[in-house]
Amino acid sequence: MADTYPKIAVIDQGYQSTYSNADRMEKVSRNDLIIWGFYPGQTSGLSGSSITNHLTAIDAKNPAVKHAQYTIVQQINWNDSFFDDLEAYADTNDWWVYNFDDSTKETTGSANSYAVNITTWAPVDGSGYRYPQYYANHIQSQFPWSLFDFVFIDNVFNTSQLISEPGDWNRDDVNNSSDANTDATLTSRYRSGQVAYVTAFASLQPDIETIANAVASNPLDQEYSGVYDGGLYENLQDYSFATVKARVEATIPNLIDEGALIMNVTDAVSQQQGRFWLATTMILTNGYFSYTNDAVANWYIVRFDEYDLDCGDAIDSKQSAAWSNGVYKREFDNCLVLVNPSGSQQTVTLPAGNWYTIRGCLDPTNNDGALKTSLTLANADGRILVKTLAAPINLRGASRATCTSMTVPIGYSLAPKKRARR
């Protein structure tokens, strides 16, 4: 079945105790992909008091939504009882990264987490597993994977760059550098440890695709090439369009079947910034756009006017060069997407046909439903125009009665998107 754009992903990993809140469930179900942060065996805060029942309830609201479950292989949270079994087994098998001079477990940049030695320098357990293989077996037994589409793997870096300081990875009583540029052997073995986790998990759950949180730091090349189905590119607002374009074009060939990227913007960005990066996602990729307000939490579900458009499938391929006056263009069945990274305001003449700005609530000045033959875009702005203007707002079978600022959760009772799950 053909794709329908825009594709919207949400990272819903904070305050798991309120997952079952009715308003939160309604908002999250309207997305195309949800990256969940369920705890193993979680019952509290879930609809029906189980992960299975909760996902079933979300699917009832939107049968087309896809689900991913968060995992992380190179560290264990020692301050959370959900992971006590992993910590105890790592203790038993001596799987930590230690500082050579005092046998102290190295911590990571994430709060309350110890770094795990995922390389082949670490010993094997009684089953012949190192931690990546053991963790894969552990994770696959903890969740109802038949209801998931993806496993999300956090912090797939070149090496353990979040570790607090260099550690003795190879157990030779000398600390190795944690800098990928100065310790090529560690880099290779570390990356191979990440791959070992994916390989082991895939052997247990072959129908589950993989998403690596990595793209902002590396293009998933070398040992990672051909291993992951998708990747997350976080904090787009911290990079230039040229940097993002180069990294996207370097990463996509390294994904399985040139799989989908998730392009993520964080923090309280403006309407212009939001639509610029949404349009950029639709111009450069066949992937998902995600917005997260980290100033609040990863559960703060916010929607832009453009989220509920039905642009249909892409007519044009992904774009690698500007179309006119430094402006990029990509046409879809029902929409025309433009983005201006040129460095200055630009006016472009639109392709033949009737093109309307959408009628939006959050930005009625720009999204005013006007018929356009040309369009002026500020620098670092993006716009989506539609072929047919539905009344009163060009949304998927629904309209908004009131308008609310994008910086607060939005609880409109819109019909969820209905797409066949592939």
Structural domains in the chain, sorted by start: 7-313 (3.20.20.70)
DSSP symbols for 98-151: EETTTTEEPBBSSTTEEEB--STTSPP-TTS--HHHHHHHHHHTTS-GGG-SEE
Question: Closest Cα to residue 167, out of 118, 221, 220?
Answer: 118
Kindly report the number of other CB atoms within 10 A of residue 79's CB atom: 9
**What is the CB-side half-sphere exposure of residue 128 using CA atoms within 13 A?**
1
pLDDT of residue 390: 54
pLDDT of residue 389: 66
pLDDT of residue 391: 43
- Rounded Cα distance between 309 and 152, Å, is 27
Q: Read off the tokens for 385.
A: 């125009």
pLDDT of residue 308: 79
Per-residue pLDDT for the chain (422 aa), expressed as one digit of tens each?
567 899 999 988 877 888 998 888 988 898 999 999 999 889 999 999 999 999 999 999 999 999 999 999 999 988 778 889 999 999 999 999 988 776 788 887 666 889 999 999 999 999 999 999 999 999 999 999 999 999 999 999 887 666 666 788 888 888 776 554 467 888 899 999 999 999 999 999 999 999 999 888 889 999 999 999 999 999 898 999 999 999 999 999 999 998 889 999 887 677 888 899 999 999 999 999 998 876 555 455 677 888 878 899 999 999 999 999 999 999 999 999 999 999 999 999 999 989 999 887 777 788 888 999 999 999 999 999 998 765 434 344 344 444 443 333 322 222 333 333 33
